[in-house]
Structure 1
Amino acid sequence: MSALTPPTDMPTPTTDKITQAAMETIYLCKFRVSMDGEWLCLRELDDISLTPDPEPTHEDPNYLMANERMNLMNMAKLSIKGLIESALNLGRTLDSDYAPLQQFFVVMEHCLKHGLKAKKTFLGQNKSFWGPLELVEKLVPEAAEITASVKDLPGLKTPVGRGRAWLRLALMQKKLSEYMKALINKKELLSEFYEPNALMMEEEGAIIAGLLVGLNVIDANFCMKGEDLDSQVGVIDFSMYLKDGNSSKGSEGDGQITAILDQKNYVEELNRHLNATVNNLQAKVDTLEKSNTKLTEELAVANNRIITLQEEMERVKEESSYILESNRKGPKQDRSAEGQALSEARKHLKEETQLRLDVEKELEIQISMRQEMELAMKMLEKDVCEKQDALVSLRQQLDDLRALKHELAFKLQSSDLGVKQKSELNSRLEEKTNQMAATIKQLEQSEKDLVKQAKTLNSAANKLIPKHH
């Protein structure tokens, strides 16, 4: 498998390194990378059956480049997904020794190098992705700090090492997705470094930039001072993603749940970025509106001041021209009289100015009094409104009391009627009781009479019985 994954190209390749770099096309062109759930499947293009319809041949450069883009996009998907899942399960800050994180940087390096234009030097051809990454600070001012930090690192001597350090710092800053999106949106700048059918120039690059948003949930910490980024060999380890084609798909449900969670995290992170962008734009709009209002007020004041100065200048010019003209035409003996008139005019102007100042002061006093009166009127209106509200509430309470009074009166009336009915019933019961008592007395009297008669009859019977014997 290592024969299919070439090492990273160096700025001054030797013959062996050029041969290894040529082997990169074996992985990118002669195989097709596809995703089966959470795993990776490699298939040789010769084993893929073609339809009878005419299709581009495998030797077509455009077809090969499209296949390379698709392969790299699938590898980026698997790498990002595996990194997020393993990092969340691990639950700690990741460092440079974490294997899935190393594989992610290797895949990103391959994506950034895809379709780079070769720059010829006296030592040979050089392909480096550091040039496009340097453009990010022109598009996003926040990236200038990362670029400056990379340039200040003492151990980096090659553009490839600087590019690798830039990727790590951007991931630590949780801005890698934002920077990649800003770079991909400027195709006119990327065309200087990439071929037209390169991954960064096509739709696959935008998809990868969108997938990178999910990495903002990961906390990473790197120490690059003692790390040799210039001579690292970027080899993709397929064993982390490969699975047997005949294996069961028992984890398909878990894969769907994980995919849904990844989409949820992606949408939440994207929503957070959009909210932050909207808040920043709203703050900028508010600041611009305030500054625009302030500048408009200052402009109006300046215009009024300019108009006043122009009027005063015109008046002074007219007065000076009049005085000069009168000095030229009038005789010398009249100059003293004119000087006296001028002094009187100045005195009169001074008096008028003082009078104007007094009037302005009086006007200011009147304005302040008027403002105080308006404030007092507003307070009175507020007091009246409050009293009206209190009056309305009191009227409502009075209505409630009246309704309660009517209800109590009705209940009292009902109770009086019940008392009358009970008294009448009581009187009737007393009459019946008296009647029953009289009847009882009569019955008792009749009983006594019957007892007497019985006794009489018994005595008579007793008398008759002996006589009969």
Structure 2
Amino acid sequence: MAQETIYLCNFRVSVDGDWLCLRELSDVQVEMPPILPSIEDGRDPRTIERANLLNVSKLIIKELIDSSLSHGRMLDDDHVPLQQFFVVLEHVLRHGLKPKKGILRDKREFWGVLEVIEKFAPEAAEITTSVREMPNIKTPLGRARAWLRLALMQKTLADYFKLIIEKKDDVLSEFYERGAIMVEDEGIVITGLLVGLNVIDCNLCIKEEDLDQPMGVIDFSLYLRDNKVPMDTPDSDSAEGKSKMATILDQKNYLEELNRHLNATVTNLQQKLESVQTTNALMKEDLAITKNTILTLQEENSTIKKEKEILLNDHKRKLELTKQDIDIERETYQTSRAGLDSLVAEAKKRLEDETQTRIDVERELELQISMKTEMEMALRLLEKDIHEKQDNIISMRKQLEDIKTLNLEMYKKLQTCDSNLKQKTEVVAKLEEKTEQLVNTLKEMEKNPIQSDFKSC
């Protein structure tokens, strides 16, 4: 256990009504309540510490509730039982706490335990945030004290303790060692005792209170007295003298134990001071080395910047030359492309003219075909008419001769139309050949535009 914490491991603290009884363990045989494990000779000091803290907590919480109910007023910072309650609660939370390695040797801070509560109870985040934002609190111990006071004023302290006790396998195992009061059955009992504090009202001024002061010490003198043993002998004066002597011896042993712990605390603080001074000297040496390193790096940085400027100027010069070459090549390409575009435009115009001519010829051909079709229809009608009028051939010979004459004329016209049709068909075939040639020429020009440019030049 840390030397700065006083748990009176060589003494047994028990509750007798409104008083604490302090006896050396070698002189007293103690029967523990059923909820606590039995204590035998050579017992674990932590078991004794847990029992002592539990008994002190019972007595202080009982006195705190009784004083609040008897006076019927709101408790403030000056109320001594309330001050002692917070001291005992700090010792309870610090009992068995795993140390954190740091520059100032080992640290035991239970602020981390209280911070974890907001993960399981979102309403606790308001208290934690308020404590973090208090400008007058600088240390984790001060924040933990402010947190406990705010939770007590909001009457949620017992609920939060119950929550972390229920989650002790997930939360407390990370912060506490085995045998700590928070992970044993005594933690459950203390949680039940805290429920009784919901009947009291507190008004604590946290901003004006110095909460960063060192860990407090439990003032047992407010509750200690010797156990009253009924005397059956008539010599009451002798029994009273023995009782006073026992009380004086108990107080003497307590003061000696307190003195030993205070001496150990002073030694520990001196060691911490020496460690801090050594660390400060090392940090000064590191600072000087770091300053020299910074100067060297600054010189190297200036040299690198100069080299960077030289390289940047060379790069800009090369970039300008490359840009000029690209501009010349672009102008050459644009000139060649302009000539090629004019050739392509001329070829497209010729293709459009030829296409229009072909369309006109096709239209005329369709007209001739329609005329031929009409003539064929007329011939069929005439043939039909001839068959129908075979019976009247004799009577209508003259008309037949006229019709033959007409047929001859129409036949001549038909021959003329056939000859015209053949000529136009030949013209269309020639136009199609020319069109195919032009299309092939355009395809070749599109495939090899650069060669065409050079040829045109």
Report the TM range for the smaller structure's normalisation.
Answer: 0.3 to 0.5
Tell me the TM-score normalized by structure 1. 0.45
Structure with bigger gyration radius: 2
Give the structure-2-normalised TM-score.
0.47
Indicate the structure whose relative CO is greater, using CA pairs within 8 Å and at least 6 residues apart.
2
